[in-house]
Amino acid sequence: MNEESYCSKIEVRKSCLQQRAALGEQERSNKSFLIRKKLEDLPEFKTAQTVMLFLNFRDEVETTASAEAVVACKKKLILPRCAPKGILLPLKVSNLAVDLEPGAWGIREPKLTNEEVNPLEIDLVVVPGAGFDLQGNRLGYGGGFYDRFFPRLKSLTPRVALGFECQIIDQVPVDKHDVKMTKLVTEKMVYDFGKIANQ
């Protein structure tokens, strides 16, 4: 990544996160509920037997209820744990009350004693992000954890991002290692990038 692109990402990320943080707690909760319903109505969600989610942190889209829904539907719930060298560990979670602990940044993560799952078994991965555009690009938080993880999935495994409409921008600054999303779910609609993402 060249220096200009790196600086651009930092500035855009900061702006997107400021937009998200400006949402009030009640507004964020209401919009998260709408996003949750859209996510759980997706055919990809309904048919998936092994679902990888993230647990929300700070002012991200709230996802705990969706994680509980995956367990309640007898699907296999996978949650990420950040490991050294930018590695994301996909760990199975059977009980949200028992299997989690605070991670390095205070993010709820699966305990290391949980079973690690082969990424090739994952039928759907749901990811967070700082910003998004309508070409399927996602701006992460700068650690590159998901971009390193995506190539370990089956090539056609859906990558569904969750975000608020206020996080959508005209153009996310991208690099060659950045992976496009299959869909973006916001409180207003589901954006489908399937054909773009699989090119």
101 is in an annotated binding site: no
Specify the pLDDT at position 119: 98
184 is in an annotated binding site: no
Cα-based angle 12, 6, 164 (whole degrees, multiple of 5): 25
Written as six digits, the tokens of 109 are 């993560």
168 is in an annotated binding site: no
132 is in an annotated binding site: no
Count of structural domains within the chain: 1
Task: Tell me which residue of 127, 131, 105, 177 sits closest to 9, measured CA to CA.
Answer: 131
Q: Which domain holds residue 7?
A: 3-197
Radius of gyration, CA atoms only, the chain: 16
10 is in an annotated binding site: yes
* pLDDT above 90 (res 17): yes
CATH code of residue 125: 3.40.50.10420
- Region of residue 24 (phi > 0: left; psi between -120 and 50: alpha; otherwise: beta): beta
Give residue-wise pLDDT tens across range 146-168. 999 999 999 999 999 999 999 99
Determine the longest span between alpha carbons in the chain, in angstroms. 47
129 is in an annotated binding site: no
The continuous run of DSSP H or E covering 40 comes out as helix 25-41
- Across all residues in the chain, what is the average pLDDT? 93
Give residue-wise pLDDT tens across range 21-71. 999 999 999 999 999 999 999 999 999 999 999 999 999 999 999 999 999
78 is in an annotated binding site: no
Q: Is the distance from CB of 55 to CB of 68 less than 8 angstroms? A: no
Give residue-wise pLDDT tens across range 81-133. 999 888 999 999 999 999 999 987 788 999 999 999 999 999 999 999 999 99
* pLDDT above 50 (res 1): no
